[in-house]
C-alpha cells in the first residue's frame, strides 16, 4: 500500500461531494485516493467514538445514540464509493486495496462493538428505556442498537472479545478472497466460436456473443462467457450439445478449478470460523445466531417452509423431465438426458405447449422500454417521477443518472443505474446506496443505485431482454424504491435496513407489475415495428408464467437447503464440497438439475455473510409478495390508489422503523400462509 498522504477530510472529493447534483465528483477521484482517505476517515471516526464513550455527562439519546448514528460520515462516504467501485468497476489496484481494507474495517467496527465505555452508555439508556418516553421509532433503534452490541460481543470477557475480533477479521478477508476468486474465474473463461458453431442461436444472442468476443480481442468471432445473460440463452437455444456441456461444466465449476482462484479451502475456513463465532456468542449454530433477528427466528421455521416446497418441486421436476426426455428421443438423441439438456428441451416443450418461444418475446422487451415501464409503474403507484441527466460522470461511462421527484415536483433523491456486463464487474444484479435517506441531524436525501449484467449489444443496436432479465430489472428497481421512498428519522432503519427475510418483499412484489397487461400493452413494443405485443402472444406468455416451475424451484431450493445445512450444524464439515454432494444425495436432488449457486461460487453466502443462513429469505419473502399482490388483484385494480398508499406507507417508506410483522399486517390486515406462493409458482 502507498505511504499515507495528509488528507483534509473537509475538502477531499471522496468525502465532500462537490460533483453535479451533489454526487461525488467521480471525474476527480483516482484509485490512489482511496487509501489515504480511508486511513484518515478511520482515525476521525475513532476520535468521534472516543468522544462519545468518554463523555462524562449522563447518557442521553442526543449525546449517545444520535451521536453514534451520525458519526463516521467521512468513512461512510469513502466506503460507499469504494464498495461501489469494487463491485461494479474494479481493477488490480482496487482489488489490492479491498484485500487490505476489508480486515481493517472489520477491526475498526469490532473495536466499536466491544468498546466497554460506549456499551455502558448504550446499556444505561436501554435499562432506562421505559422511563425515557421515546417515540416508537427511537425506542426500536435503541433496542436494535443494544442487541447489535450484545450480538457483536459487548458482553464477552476480554479474551472472548479478542477472539471474536480475530474471527471477524479473518472472515472479512476470506469473504473478499472468495468474491475476487469467482470474479477471476468468470473474467478469464471464454469459449470462442465461429459462424459454423452457432446452429439454433437467435440473432439477439449472436450479437451479444459477437460483442463479448470483440471486447476480448477476438473481433469477427463469437464468445460464450460465464455471464448469465449469455450462458443461459446459449444453453437454451444452441443445437450443439457438446458446446452446451462445455459451457455447463465451466459455469458450475466457477471457484473450483484448482490453483489460486479455488474457493474450496476458503469455504472450509469460513464455515469453521462461523461455527466458532456462534459458540463464542452462546448460540447452538451459526444459523441460530443469524436467524435470531429475522422473521423466521429458527432453522426449524425455515425448514417448515422449504421442506414442503422441495417435495412438491421434486414431483413437478420429475414429471417435466419425462416430457423433456420424450422430446429428446423424438429428436433422435440416444444420449442419456443430462443437466445441459434441460434448458434446451424445456424451451422446445414451451413451444409445443404454448406455441411460442423465448426468442419471440425478446423483440418486445427493449431495455430502455423496460426501464420506462419500471418508472411508469412507480409513478402510477407512488406519484414519483424520473428525469435522466446526461453527461454526468459516475463510476463508469455506462452508468446513468436520474433525478427522482415527488408528485409536487420537489427533489426526492437520485437514482443511478449501470446495466451492462463487463469484465471489471462482478456477476449478478444488486441494489445499493451511495447515501441513505433519513431526517436525523441535517438529514440526507437518498442516492440509490442498481447494477445489472445484461449482454451489451453492438453499437447502435438496442439491448433486448429475456422475460427473466426484465423481471430482474423490476426486482432490483423494487429494492431501489425501498431505498428511495424511505421516510424515517434514524439512519440505521432507513430503506433496506430490515430483517433479511423481509428485505426481498419490496423487490419481489414489484416484479408482479411487469406482467400486468396494461403495463405490457404500453411498454412491450416491437423493436422494429413499434407495435405492441399482440394479444395472442401476451396471452400465451401469461399462460406460460408457471411453466418450468419444477426446474426453477428445485435449483433455487437446493441452494437454500444447502446454505441451511452448512450453518444449522453446531460444527463445520471438514470437507464442504463432499458435504454438499452427500446432502444433495439425501435430498434426492435430480442429477439433471444443478443448484442455482453451487458452494464454490455461492456469493450470496460466502462473499461476505449477507445471505449466509439466509438464502431461504427469497422464498420467505415470496410468501409475502404473492399475498400482497393478491390484495391488488382482489380489488380488480393493480394500481388501486388506497392500497398503493398503504403499500407505500407500511412497506416501501417504513424501512426498519417497526417490526416487519406489524408493518405487513398494517398493509394487509393479516399474515399470509405459503399457499398463495405455491399457487403462484404453479406447484399446486
H or E stretch at 404: strand 400-405
Q: At what angle do helices 299-330 and 617-635 cross, to 10 degrees?
A: 80
State how far the Cα of 538 lies from the Cα of 520, in Å rounded to an integer.
8
State the first-to-last Cα distance of the chain, in angstroms, to the nearest integer: 57
User: Which entry of 476, 504, 511, 555 is annotated as an active-site residue?
Assistant: 476
- Of 174, 11, 172, 163, nearest in space to 77 by CA: 11
**CB atoms < 10 A from the CB of 14, how many?**
26
- CB of 616 within 8 A of CB of 354? no
> Which strands form 385-389's sheet, in the order they lie side by side?
385-389, 400-405, 411-420, 447-454, 430-435
State how far the Cα of 14 lies from the Cα of 23, in Å rounded to an integer.
10
State how far the Cα of 140 lies from the Cα of 152, in Å rounded to an integer.
18
State how far the Cα of 55 lies from the Cα of 64, in Å rounded to an integer.
9
Cα→Cα distances 614→167, 293, 309, 486, 609, Å: 20, 11, 17, 24, 9
- CB of 322 within 8 A of CB of 342? no
Cα→Cα distances 495→25, 480, 556, 580, 615, Å: 24, 9, 26, 35, 20
- Of 481, 484, 469, nearest in space to 419 by CA: 469
- CB of 158 within 8 A of CB of 181? no
- CB of 269 within 8 A of CB of 276? no
State how far the Cα of 411 lies from the Cα of 667, in Å rounded to an integer.
26
Place of cell 438529514: 443
> Which burial class, exposed, middle or buried, applies to 46 when counting CB atoms under 10 A from its CB (0-12, 13-18, 19+)?
middle
Q: Mapped to the 3 state alphabet, what secondary structure does 372-384 carry?
A: HHHHHHHHHHHCC
- Of 140, 168, 169, 155, nearest in space to 69 by CA: 140
Quote the Cα angle for 446-448-454, to 5°: 170
Q: What are the residues whose beta carbons fall under 8 Å from the beta carbon of 3, sequence distance 6 or more? A: none
Catalytic annotation present for 580: no
State how far the Cα of 293 lies from the Cα of 316, in Å rounded to an integer.
34
Helix and strand element counts for the chain (H, E): 27, 7
- CB of 590 within 8 A of CB of 554? yes
- CB of 584 within 8 A of CB of 554? no
Q: How far is CA 95 from the centre of its chain?
A: 20
- Of 296, 320, 340, nearest in space to 563 by CA: 296
Return the C-alpha cell found at 324: 423433456
**CB atoms < 10 A from the CB of 458, how many?**
10
H or E stretch at 434: strand 430-435
Which residues are identified as catalytic? 476
Amino acid at each position: 500500500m502507498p505511504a499515507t498522504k495528509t488528507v483534509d477530510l473537509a475538502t477531499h472529493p471522496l468525502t465532500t461531494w462537490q460533483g453535479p447534483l451533489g454526487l461525488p465528483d467521480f471525474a476527480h477521484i483516482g484509485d490512489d485516493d482511496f487509501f489515504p482517505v480511508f486511513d484518515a476517515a478511520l482515525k476521525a471516526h475513532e476520535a468521534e467514538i472516543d468522544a462519545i464513550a468518554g463523555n462524562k455527562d449522563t447518557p442521553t439519546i442526543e449525546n449517545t445514540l444520535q451521536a453514534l448514528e451520525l458519526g463516521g460520515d467521512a468513512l461512510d462516504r469513502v466506503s460507499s464509493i469504494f464498495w461501489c467501485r469494487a463491485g461494479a468497476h474494479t481493477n488490480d489496484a482496487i482489488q489490492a486495496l479491498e484485500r487490505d481494507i476489508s480486515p481493517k474495517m472489520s477491526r475498526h467496527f469490532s473495536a466499536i462493538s466491544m468498546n466497554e465505555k460506549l456499551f455502558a452508555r448504550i446499556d444505561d439508556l436501554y435499562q432506562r428505556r421505559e422511563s425515557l418516553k421515546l417515540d416508537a421509532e427511537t425506542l426500536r433503534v435503541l433496542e436494535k442498537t443494544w442487541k447489535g452490541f450484545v450480538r457483536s460481543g459487548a458482553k464477552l470477557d476480554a479474551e472472548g472479545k479478542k477472539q471474536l475480533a480475530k474471527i471477524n477479521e479473518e472472515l472479512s478477508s476470506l469473504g473478499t478472497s472468495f468474491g475476487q476468486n469467482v470474479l477471476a474465474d468468470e473474467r478469464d473463461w471464454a469459449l470462442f466460436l465461429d459462424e459454423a458453431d452457432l446452429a439454433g442461436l437467435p440473432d439477439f444472442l449472436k450479437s451479444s456473443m459477437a460483442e463479448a468476443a470483440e471486447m476480448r480481442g477476438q473481433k469477427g468471432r463469437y464468445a460464450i462467457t460465464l455471464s448469465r445473460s449469455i450462458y443461459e440463452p446459449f444453453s437454451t437455444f444452441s443445437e450443439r450439445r457438446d458446446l452446451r456441456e462445455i459451457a455447463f461444466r465451466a459455469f458450475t465449476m466457477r471457484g473450483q478449478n484448482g490453483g489460486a482462484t479455488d474457493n474450496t479451502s476458503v469455504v472450509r475456513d469460513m464455515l469453521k470460523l462461523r461455527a466458532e463465532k456462534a459458540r463464542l456468542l452462546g448460540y447452538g449454530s451459526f444459523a441460530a445466531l443469524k436467524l435470531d433477528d429475522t422473521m423466521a427466528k429458527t432453522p426449524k421455521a425455515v425448514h417448515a417452509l422449504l421442506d414442503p416446497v422441495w417435495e412438491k418441486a421434486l414431483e413437478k421436476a420429475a414429471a417435466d423431465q419425462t416430457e423433456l426426455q420424450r422430446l429428446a428421443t423424438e429428436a433422435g438423441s440416444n444420449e442419456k438426458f443430462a443437466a445441459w439438456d434441460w434448458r434446451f428441451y424445456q424451451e422446445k416443450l414451451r413451444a409445443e405447449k404454448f406455441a411460442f418461444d423465448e426468442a419471440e418475446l425478446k423483440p418486445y422487451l427493449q431495455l430502455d422500454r423496460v426501464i420506462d415501464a419500471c418508472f411508469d409503474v412507480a409513478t402510477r403507484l407512488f406519484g414519483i417521477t424520473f428525469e435522466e441527466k446526461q453527461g454526468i460522470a459516475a463510476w463508469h461511462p455506462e452508468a446513468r443518472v436520474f433525478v427522482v421527484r415527488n408528485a409536487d415536483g420537489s427533489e426526492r433523491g437520485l437514482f443511478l443505474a449501470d446495466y451492462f456486463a463487463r469484465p471489471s464487474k462482478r456477476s449478478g444484479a444488486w441494489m445499493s446506496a451511495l447515501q441513505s435517506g433519513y431526517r436525523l441531524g441535517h438529514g440526507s436525501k437518498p442516492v440509490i443505485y442498481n447494477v445489472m449484467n445484461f449482454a451489451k449489444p453492438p453499437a447502435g443496436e438496442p439491448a433486448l431482454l429475456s422475460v427473466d432479465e426484465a423481471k430482474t430489472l423490476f426486482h432490483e428497481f423494487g429494492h431501489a424504491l425501498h431505498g428511495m421512498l424511505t421516510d424515517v428519522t434514524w439512519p440505521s432503519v432507513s430503506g433496506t435496513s430490515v430483517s433479511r427475510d423481509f428485505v426481498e418483499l419490496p423487490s419481489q412484489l414489484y416484479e408482479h407489475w411487469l406482467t400486468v397487461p396494461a403495463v405490457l400493452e404500453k411498454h412491450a413494443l416491437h423493436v422494429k415495428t413499434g407495435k405492441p405485443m399482440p394479444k395472442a402472444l401476451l396471452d400465451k406468455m401469461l399462460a406460460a408464467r408457471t411453466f418450468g416451475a419444477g426446474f426453477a424451484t428445485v435449483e433455487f431450493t437446493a441452494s437454500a437447503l444447502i446454505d441451511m445445512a452448512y450453518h444449522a450444524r453446531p460444527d463445520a464439515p471438514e470437507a464442504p464440497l463432499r458435504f454438499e454432494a452427500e446432502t444433495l444425495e439425501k435430498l434426492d436432488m435430480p442429477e439433471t438439475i444443478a443448484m442455482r449457486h453451487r458452494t464454490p461460487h455461492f456469493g450470496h453466502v460466502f462473499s461476505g455473510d449477507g445471505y449466509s443462513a439466509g438464502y431461504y429469505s427469497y422464498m420467505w419473502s415470496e410468501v409475502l409478495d404473492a399475498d400482497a399482490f393478491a390484495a391488488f388483484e382482489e380489488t380488480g385494480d393493480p394500481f388501486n390508489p388506497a392500497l398503493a398508499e398503504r403499500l407505500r406507507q407500511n412497506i416501501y417508506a417504513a424501512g426498519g422503523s417497526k417490526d416487519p410483522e406489524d408493518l405487513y399486517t398494517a398493509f394487509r390486515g393479516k399474515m399470509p400462509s405459503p399457499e398463495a406462493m405455491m399457487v403462484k409458482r404453479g406447484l399446486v
